[in-house]
């Protein structure tokens, strides 16, 4: 299938002349005003260049350029201005809206085809280069994600866990935070941000690498002194993140990871650690991970306890047995906990 060129001019003779010039190489589409042109542009993805008259009835060329900017199509499809006018202000406005060249009337046929073909080829190579760059960026991002996952999983193995805990935390955080944002506009986050927070959540306990095995793997209750040492994993996690190379994770994931590491043991009434934050002083992403972490810890066997059943764990969280949580976060948790349990039973 041939690529298409769109010729937009209210003068039929101009359209015929230009169509004749390109008909062998391209499928030539025609419109006699801007309104017709936009209908064609929005319905045909094969258009690789547009030749656009500026002065037309119904809708002029400048209005078309404005709409192409709004839709983003101007960045992927070169637009050539067709004009007999020598109005520098008008042409300057067209260039500022993304037009790439001017085809002056009367036409100089020997130059037009070469100029347009060269720019079409330039756009094609640029798009190919963008695709290659995006593909490489995606590969690097995926590799970095895997490195972060491996680091988090190694911590879990040292904590006598299988590594599944961090995977479950990621899924639970995603589910819970999505519902929080749906229920409470004051906590709204874009989906991209929620994805990054879920990714950051797997590093919540990275600071445990600094905790002695005698405490981390102790089968019984910790003494007050041992618990004080355990509490420093929140701060140590931030120290570890601060030493990670900048290209391991993007800036937002780093910020979320830092907040989550430090604050996932803070509590709504200020009785958590390490900073004693209370209420919404605690970032909402850290609040979500805190509930996700407690729920998964309660319902999983650990060296120091057996797993609680789901109903008992839900009651403990709501009754404040694990510290007080934001009532809004709890409401969202109670709304999705059945889905979380189903996901856990099926796959996580």
Establish how many alpha carbons lie within 13 A of residue 112's alpha carbon, considering only the half-sphere containing its beta carbon. Answer: 20
Instruction: Give burial (CB, 10 Å; 0-12/13-18/19+) of 39.
Output: exposed
Interhelix angle for 284-298 vs 327-346, to 10°? Answer: 50
C-alpha 314/C-alpha 15 separation (Å) is 71
C-alpha 64/C-alpha 200 separation (Å) is 43
Secondary structure E strands in 168-248: none
Q: List, as one string, the DSSP characters of 110-132.
A: HHHHHHHHHHHHHHHHHHHHHHH
C-alpha 253/C-alpha 318 separation (Å) is 29
At 230, phi and psi to the nearest 5? -60, -40
Say whether 208 is catalytic: yes
Q: Which of 73, 208, 278, 305 is catalytic?
A: 208
The residues that are catalytic are 208
């Amino acid at each position: 299938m041939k690529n298409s060129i769109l010729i937009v001019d209210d003068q039929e003779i101009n359209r015929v002349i230009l169509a004749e010039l390109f008909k062998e190489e391209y499928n030539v589409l025609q419109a006699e005003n801007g309104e017709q042109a936009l209908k064609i542009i929005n319905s045909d993805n094969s258009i690789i260049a547009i030749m656009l008259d500026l002065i037309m009835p119904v809708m002029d060329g400048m209005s078309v350029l404005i709409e192409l900017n709004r839709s983003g199509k101007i960045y992927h499809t070169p637009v050539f201005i067709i004009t007999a006018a020598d109005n520098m202000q008008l042409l300057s406005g067209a260039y500022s809206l993304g037009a790439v060249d001017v085809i002056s009337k009367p036409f100089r046929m020997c130059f037009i085809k070469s100029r347009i073909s060269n720019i079409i080829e330039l756009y094609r190579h640029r798009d190919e280069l963008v695709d290659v760059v995006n593909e490489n960026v995606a590969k690097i991002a995926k590799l970095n994600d895997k490195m972060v996952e491996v680091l988090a999983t190694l911590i879990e193995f040292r904590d006598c866990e299988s590594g599944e805990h961090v995977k479950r935390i990621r899924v639970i955080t995603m589910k819970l935070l999505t519902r929080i944002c749906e229920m409470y506009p004051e906590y709204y986050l874009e989906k991209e941000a929620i994805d990054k927070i879920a990714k950051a959540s797997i590093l919540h306990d990275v600071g445990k690498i600094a905790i002695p095995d005698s405490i981390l793997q102790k089968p019984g209750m910790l003494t007050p002194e041992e618990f004080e040492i355990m509490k420093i994993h929140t701060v140590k996690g931030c120290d570890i993140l601060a030493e990670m190379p900048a290209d391991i994770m993007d800036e937002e994931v780093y910020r979320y990871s830092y907040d989550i590491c430090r604050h996932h043991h803070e509590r709504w009434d200020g009785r958590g650690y390490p900073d004693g934050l209370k209420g919404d002083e605690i970032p909402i992403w850290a609040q979500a991970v805190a509930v996700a972490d407690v729920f998964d810890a309660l319902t999983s066997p650990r060296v120091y306890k057996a797993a609680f059943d789901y109903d008992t764990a839900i009651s403990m969280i709501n009754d404040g047995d694990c510290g007080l949580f934001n009532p809004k976060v709890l409401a969202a948790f109670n709304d999705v906990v059945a889905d979380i349990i189903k996901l856990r039973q099926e796959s996580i």
